Structure 1
């Protein structure tokens, strides 16, 4: 099975200010891209996990990056390296989605052992490794492979989308 992946981040905008005889402006067009071919070395990936998930009010889950996630064809995924991760909280959420700080065996590749990112409703976060990076965001099966996702409060459930692209070696 082959996998090719393309990641991109971009920001654009036009900043203007009114002056007496002119309208000065500053235009931004910024973009970074990463293309990965199929495989396991630098600049390559062979695993992909995608899902839309829902957590009950005040619930948490630990996503096991080394063994319990399934790909689109039902095969178990064991990430050794994460090349890109993308998480987006649904705009209709009332509560926040909190990523990181698993109580045991936390995956430290993105946020270290205790760091978290709070995604307010509609917010997204992404992180990618560079195409020349052979180490990337390492996963250690059994001791450093759990990515915690939590609903920040009681009362309502939260929904989020997640995409993880990585390598099995």
Structure 2
């Protein structure tokens, strides 16, 4: 199985201000992208996990990045390094989705105690640069859990997740 991917993020912003006889503009285009070929070295990835997941009220789950997740074809995935992570909370959620701070946490992106709060409809993405051979390392058994939690009681939350990485 071969994996090729393009990971990207972008923001386009136009600010205007009316002046006496004209209008001033500030037009910002911010784009970052990386294309990864199949493989395990810098600029390459060979593993992908993606899913839409639902957590019951006040529930948590630990996504084990080393040997538990399944790819789209049902094969077990072991990430040695993550090249891209994208998470999006459903807009219909009432509660927030909290990401990070697990026991045996995958801490190379958020640290062992760091968390991200994704309010309903919010998304976050991180990607390693094309020349970054290390990316976000995963350490099996001691640094491989990505915790995802429902912030409150009363209702479930749904979120989408995409992880692109390398097996070595």
TM over 0.5: yes
**SS of residue in 2 equivalent to 1:91:** coil
- Offset, 1:14: 1.1
What pairs up with 1:44-59 in 2 under 5 angstroms? Answer: 44-59=44-59
The answer as to 2:92 corresponding to 1:92 is yes
Normalised by the length of structure 1, the TM-score is 0.98
- Offset, 1:130: 0.4
Taking the aligned partners of 1:40 and 1:30, their CA distance within structure 2 comes to: 28
Indicate the residue corresponding to 1:25 in structure 2: 25
Indicate the residue corresponding to 1:123 in structure 2: 122
Normalised by the length of structure 2, the TM-score is 0.99
What pairs up with 1:7-86 in 2 under 5 angstroms? Answer: 7-86=7-86
Unaligned runs of 5+ in 2: none
Unaligned runs of 5+ in 1: none
Taking the aligned partners of 2:131 and 2:24, their CA distance within structure 1 comes to: 40
Runs of 4+ with deviation above 6 angstroms: none
The answer as to 2:140 corresponding to 1:141 is yes
**SS of residue in 1 equivalent to 2:109:** helix
Taking the aligned partners of 1:58 and 1:30, their CA distance within structure 2 comes to: 36
Taking the aligned partners of 2:143 and 2:66, their CA distance within structure 1 comes to: 9
C-alpha RMSD of matched pairs (Å) = 0.5
Deviations 1:25-77 (A, max 9, x none): 11111111100000000000000000000000000000000011000000000
Taking the aligned partners of 2:47 and 2:108, their CA distance within structure 1 comes to: 16
Q: How many residues align?
A: 168
